[in-house]
Structure 1
């Protein structure tokens, strides 16, 4: 088994690895391999695999691969609990919906119980109540004790060209949240609310896989990985797991020869 897969397993210790891939397709394959290995281990140890999905074109490629004949039988989908790290305030059938993207690319093509798919209802008028309901669902499914953050087996993240991740955008209120798990975040640049995971729950995960591809990610990636710490400007810098594994999957275009 490759070293980068071995490092996903075993005891929970804070580690970080940056894997440079030669193409987006290689990112799809490596992330799908990580997903299947972690799923098998989590189900064997804890009886279920809890994962938070991300929006974006790179994660979509991974979802498509996981739903293919080559991969879908590698996962016991009856034991998988799917969540989302963020969602736009749109209906689930809207073409901007993170849920719709994942459903079309993967969920509709695999045998997963409908009760195991936990969609963010960010389209509701009372989005604040919906965020609190989602928090309660996280705690119940992830079996969190009172006062503890839910502990996901895997959280998938992407990074925008402004350095945001999930719906933690530069200069927004959610960046300073220290207790809540899921919040409503007003994003001025889009003039809308988003529902999003907060940094505390992200950093409590056992494994985090960050995916960044394309030349437009070159500058923000450099700032996030090697720049002066300023999460108000580059929110992806907030991702620092307290007791888990952080893997960056990036392509040649996003690194342009930089050694991290």
Structure 2
């Protein structure tokens, strides 16, 4: 891991979401000028959904050729299709249903009311990743969005849980999650870290400790976000409350 982490502080959650949405649109347009398509990994949670809503509400939204955008998820709750707590459901309502994404380019995790078991769903998603990569383990992700929990978890990789240590698989099934629902699916840390750009969005004072520990070099086992670092860029987009424990020298003046 060679790139420096950057922390960009915004006044509040709303300005954070708007700033990240604007950067996303600009970057995707630039990438599509240079390559055929892009692979984006989405996250859930209130901030992640707010970012998608801000993208949808932007006047520049349709400057993206959405037919060349592939959408994946970093994790998913093992719930029935259409459940309002599923990351997929939230993302569709916030953005996907409003833009010209080709449905075959949308790659949600399986749902609990389908024919697959939790482990079978993990295997299926791993296969889908490898097929999209033309036989590799997974596609090169251009942009990966991640939220961060108060305990420092990312995707559904939780502190002191075995999933955070998995290095020989692209997808893990999660049981006994400390955050409901107890069963989930998640990309593994090595896959997340193969993303070119990882953009982490955090808002609220309850995230300040996790962010401070991550930037101070805490162990990945205890604070999973400490182990996150993209190939080219790793940027924390935070509000003032979440930045309370960030050393001043780590706060970037600009992107």
TM-score, structure 1 length as denominator? 0.88
For the pair 1:251 / 2:239, whether they are aligned, the reply is: yes
> Number of residues paired by the alignment?
245
Equivalent position to 2:200, from 204, 210, 213:
210
Bigger mean CA offset, 38-47 vs 243-252: 38-47
1:8 aligns with none
How big is each residue's C-alpha offset from its partner over 1:71-119, in whole Å with a ceiling of 9 and x where there is no partner? 3212110000011100001012112111111111111111211111111
Residue segments in structure 2 that go unaligned for 5+ positions in a row: 251-255
For the pair 1:139 / 2:127, whether they are aligned, the reply is: no
Separation in structure 1 between the aligned mates of residue 117 and residue 93 of structure 2, nearest angstrom: 27
Bigger mean CA offset, 179-188 vs 112-121: 179-188
2:253 aligns with none
For the pair 1:73 / 2:65, whether they are aligned, the reply is: no
Instruction: Write out aligned runs for 1:45-124 (5 A).
Output: 45-68=34-57, 70-123=59-112, 124=114
- Contact 2:88/2:108, CA 8 A, preserved across alignment: yes
Structure 1 consecutive aligned stretches of length 4 or more whose deviation exceeds 4 Å: none
Separation in structure 1 between the aligned mates of residue 232 and residue 118 of structure 2, nearest angstrom: 31
Q: Alpha carbons of 1:119 and 1:225: their partners in 2 closer, same or farther (altered >3 Å)?
A: same
Q: CA deviation at 1:34?
A: 2.1
Instruction: Write out aligned runs for 1:8-19 (5 A).
Output: 14-19=3-8
Q: Alpha carbons of 1:14 and 1:46: their partners in 2 closer, same or farther (altered >3 Å)?
A: same
Residue segments in structure 1 that go unaligned for 5+ positions in a row: 1-11
Q: Alpha carbons of 1:234 and 1:255: their partners in 2 closer, same or farther (altered >3 Å)?
A: same
Q: CA deviation at 1:22?
A: 1.0
- Contact 1:138/1:150, CA 8 A, preserved across alignment: yes
